């Protein structure tokens, strides 16, 4: 991937991240994006549409004024036909709209972030040794969501939720400059690690927070962050009777503001599409890889637990 050339002001930008009260700013943004005062929320929505050239024709509700808050606009649903899933039964689907920041193999427990920057699989998964062992020498995908993108996250393959880990942390920006300049960026930022057993075996879908992104949620647990400051790492384990089964392409969570999704698969479970390279745009439902034939665990979709749909 060809990264943006670094300038002195980029280093200044990152340096300010170390000084500003990241979580306090996220808390302020949380409140602002949920205000129902029409003049303010309409102005914010118009500015984002204009600055980032948001395509409202794909939205289920194309009228910007119809959204009760800025956050409801930011997490807007799309028309069902806007993101048709890849038809191949073995397709691994992109979990989000955005840019494929990186993809490749996990080598010696390390994931590639950018030239000169790597981070640890064990640290990414908050030291959970059992799940870390599943992904040694496996495959990863990193998808970056910009403010213009659709901000709901969907399942790359069908799966059953087995566990979830909320890891408190920093809220550095996750754009291209930050990826180049902030060591271990994705293991320093706050994140929600969702662990599944799926058609290709174990699978992780990791929602990584960022500057102004103090709120992440899943369809089975609701809003996971923000959480009390002293809560520390929180872990959920789901037994058979509590399991939520989600189909391939089904919504599994969302960011309230933009950030990054990281996918993890075991060694030999999937192959990355050869025509896809770091820096390429991706969309929900697009094929980004294939499940190896010897790893597929049947074609039938599992019975789904009834989860109320959210518009």
**The tokens of 137 are what?**
């020498």
Q: Is 130 a catalytic residue?
A: no
Residue 120 is among the residues annotated as catalytic for this protein: no
- Backbone dihedral region for residue 104 (phi beyond 0: left; psi -120 to 50: alpha; all else: beta): left
User: Are 181 and 246 contacting, i.e. CB atoms less than 8 angstroms apart?
Assistant: no
Single out the catalytic residue among 90, 97, 149, 176: 97
Q: To 5 degrees, how large is the angle CA 76–CA 98–CA 85?
A: 75
Catalytic residue among 101, 173, 215, 259: 259
Please tell me the total number of residues recorded for the chain in this structure: 311
Out of 154, 166, 176, 178, the active site residue is: 154
Measured CA to CA, the distance from residue 43 to residue 63 in angstroms comes to: 14
Q: Which two tokens stand for residue 167?
A: 């890891």
154 is catalytic: yes
Name the residue among 199, 186, 219, 231 with its Cα closest to residue 297. Answer: 199
Q: Residues 210, 257: contact at Cβ < 8 Å?
A: yes
Active site residues: 97, 154, 259
């Amino acid at each position: 991937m060809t990264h943006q050339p670094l300038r002195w002001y980029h280093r200044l930008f990152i340096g300010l991240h170390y000084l500003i009260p990241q979580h306090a700013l996220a808390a302020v943004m949380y409140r602002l994006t949920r205000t129902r005062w029409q003049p303010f929320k309409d102005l914010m929505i118009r500015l984002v549409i204009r600055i980032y050239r948001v395509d409202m024709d794909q939205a289920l509700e194309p009228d910007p004024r119809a959204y009760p808050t800025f956050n409801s606009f930011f997490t807007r649903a799309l028309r069902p036909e806007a993101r048709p899933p890849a038809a191949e039964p073995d397709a691994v689907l992109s979990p989000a709209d955005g840019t494929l920041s990186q993809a490749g193999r996990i080598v010696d427990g390390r994931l590639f972030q950018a030239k000169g920057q790597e981070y640890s699989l064990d640290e990414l998964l908050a030291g959970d040794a059992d799940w870390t062992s599943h992904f040694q020498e496996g495959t990863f995908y990193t998808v970056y969501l910009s403010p213009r993108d659709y901000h709901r996250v969907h399942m790359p393959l069908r799966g059953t939720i087995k566990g979830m880990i909320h890891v408190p942390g920093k809220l550095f920006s996750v754009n291209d400059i930050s990826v180049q300049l902030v060591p271990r960026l994705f293991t320093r930022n706050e994140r929600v690690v969702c662990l599944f057993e799926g058609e290709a075996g174990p699978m992780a879908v990791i929602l990584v927070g960022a500057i102004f992104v103090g709120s992440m949620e899943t369809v089975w647990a609701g809003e996971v962050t923000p959480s009390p400051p002293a809560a520390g790492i929180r872990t959920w384990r789901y037994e058979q009777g509590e399991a939520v089964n989600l189909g391939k392409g089904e919504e599994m969570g969302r960011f309230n503001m933009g950030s990054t999704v990281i996918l993890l698969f075991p060694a030999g479970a999937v192959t990355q599409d050869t025509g896809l390279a770091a820096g390429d745009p991706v969309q929900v439902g697009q094929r980004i890889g294939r499940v190896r034939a010897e790893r597929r665990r049947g074609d039938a979709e599992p019975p789904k637990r009834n989860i109320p749909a959210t518009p």
